[in-house]
Amino acid sequence: MTSAETPTETAVAVAVAVCQFAPTSSRRDNLQRIAVLTAEAASRGARLVVFPEYSSYFVDPMDESLPANAETLDGEFVTTLTALAAEHGLVIVAGLAEQASDADRVRNTLVAVRGDGILATYRKQHLYDAFGQTESDWVQAGELGDASTFEVAGIRFGLMTCYDLRFPEVARTLVDAGADALVVPAEWVRGPLKEHHWTTLLAARAIENTAYVIAADHPTPIGVGHSQIVDPQGVVLAGVGVAEGIAVGAVERATIERVRATNPSLRVRRYRVVPR
């Protein structure tokens, strides 16, 4: 995992967009759809655009085509994202199937890129071996280590992925590393009560960390949709329904400071997170 900062410019607010779309087994089509959605988000003022988990390549159920279509961090997917970020003058976060040390599996990786290159990477730590799924059959878990964060106009964003949302320690390590907002690309698989779990956990991670949560999911029928931008009090500022779409909202420095002054839970807590 790595982290990096943007230039020292600061802003009162940063416009962020969540782009809900359904990646397929066509890597070319996925990149084309990302290009269209990025342009639309940029036209609506977004300076950070967030795409779902597995945006580079996705099949359901997972099979041997996943490692066959995995890429390196200097491959076509990241290179194209970087070019799009440069073209539109913004930062893009998206998930990809990255080549792993085990040739039969992949890394479930997030990248945050600007026009001049990669700002941060994160490899999913908690694999989705739950609700009848076994992501670990095809994915190699990320190593524990430094929190993955990056900055846009003086606001720090932290990276986590999908099933990580069920583990509050992940979000807390990001906030301990200075994150003002949690970025959560996901493929939150549909099932009984899964929409309820998704929206409840997004709000919980925002409230308990007094941080924004910026979450991009796949649409139905495989995902639950409901990509959202949630403020530090758990209020949904903008969101998408169950179909493909874009939601844009603002991450405001003043809101973070006001909420943390009123509710100083981060400061007064008596426990810290340590790896197992």
Distance from C-alpha of 218 to C-alpha of 159, rounded to nearest angstrom: 17
CA 171 → CA 46, 67, 174, 195, distances in Å? 24, 28, 5, 20
Cis omega before residue 275 (within 30°)? Answer: no
Strands 106-114 and 117-123: antiparallel
- Tell me, what amino acid is at 252? E
Strand partners, 229: 214, 238
Active site residue 53: yes
DSSP, residue by residue, 163-232? GGGG-HHHHHHHHHTT-SEEEEE---B--TTHHHHHHHHHHHHHHHHT-EEEEE-PPTTTB----EEE-T
Active site residue 162: yes
Q: Which of 19, 71, 98, 124 is catalytic?
A: 124
Q: Which of 71, 135, 151, 162 is catalytic?
A: 162
Known catalytic residues are 53, 124, 162
